[in-house]
Amino acid sequence: MRRRVDEAVGLGQAKEKSIKGKAGEVQVSLHPFWSLWRLWLKWMFLALCVLYVVTPFLLRLFPGIVQHLVYSHGILYFVDLSRPADLGLNHTANMYLTSEEGVTLGVWHTVPEKKWKEAQGKGLDWYEKSLGDGSPVFIYLHSNTNNRATPHRIAAANVISSLGYHAVVMDYRGFGDSTGEPTGSGLIIDALYLYHWVRERSKGSPLVIWGHSIGTVITTNIAVKLQEQGNPADGVILEGAFTHTLQKGYAHPFAWYYWKFPYIQYYFLSLPKEKAPVPNDENLKKMRTPLLMLHAEDDQVAPFKMAQELYSIAREALKSDKRIKLVSFDRSLRYGHNGVYRDPALPGIVREFVQTLAA
């Protein structure tokens, strides 16, 4: 009996050794995999570190990269901008204007919705003459990405048109199908040219400039210049506006983009001042044009506190609550930086603002 027990014990020990042996084989077979994985992680971490350090130097050596990052004008939708009807804008004409030698601007003119039927089959001459029909005209200046076919810009034009107003939406130089390369001063030249072109044809109709995001900087710059020239806009709308910088002491109005990389600012403190438009907070100290500000409380690109700061500056400069209004949109609506157009109250807000201009 004892012999059988010993044999059983010996058999169990043999099985245990066999299992351990197999486990050992598994461990040996898995070991190269885990070694490669750890090696791959080490190389990835090293590559990220190198990229983190080298990126600022690359941007410094190749400023063209910076230009494309700041303006993002190279990002295009696969649409034919010469055919706005393909995007549902069937009472819109596409045209090209020359703001200066070598710079051709792609522009959409959407007539008031009530003229939808009349607009069918009409040429550019009809659209141009329609600017003088007495209806308010809006010039919409978009932000630093994409082109006039971006969905929220089409939506803004539709809101304006639904109110019985004209919407003129331009792509700055280098954006969309406009020629040239974008610069801060170049964008201002384009916007001023468009303003004068529209003003000449609108025959005294109320003319409002609506700027969004970076477009607010262009808007306040031309509003001040036009005021100094004695040819001011009738009203200004700033949507998603921001102050001069997210960091004190960094004067370039597009500086927020560079702060995405920590420490990168030390390589860009000498951005060309000649090309930098005057920031919003400085312009609002001088601007006397009636102002409507639209801002979502959950805007993460231009935090709502920036709108509050700009409102305080403009209110002090205008010395009147009747000539300035800040409309905020609750963060629970989740409009962010580009979604204000979705608010059902927006048409009424804009209509009320236009009515105050005629008062």
User: C-alpha distances in angstroms, 183 versus 190, 252, 280?
Assistant: 10, 12, 17
Burial of 171 (0-12, 13-18, 19+ CB in 10 A): buried
Sequence-ordered list of residues with C-beta below 8 angstroms from that of 172, at least 6 positions apart, any chain? 73, 105, 178, 182, 186, 187, 190, 191, 218
CB atoms within 10 A of CB 46: 10
Which two tokens mark 280? 């919003």
Residue 37's identity, in one-letter code, is: W
Compute CA 287 distance to the chain's CA centroid, rounded to the nearest angstrom.
23
Please state, in angstroms and rounded to a whole number, the distance separating the CA atoms of residues 15 and 18.
5
Strands of 135-245, DSSP E = 137-141, 166-170, 207-212, 235-239
Please state, in angstroms and rounded to a whole number, the distance separating the CA atoms of residues 118 and 284.
40
CB atoms within 10 A of CB 337: 19
Sequence-ordered list of residues with C-beta below 8 angstroms from that of 180, at least 6 positions apart, any chain? 102, 103, 104, 173, 174, 186
Please state, in angstroms and rounded to a whole number, the distance separating the CA atoms of residues 208 and 287.
14
According to DSSP, residue 326 is labeled E
Which are the catalytic amino acids?
A: 213, 299, 337
Among 315, 286, 170, which Cα is nearest to 225's?
A: 286
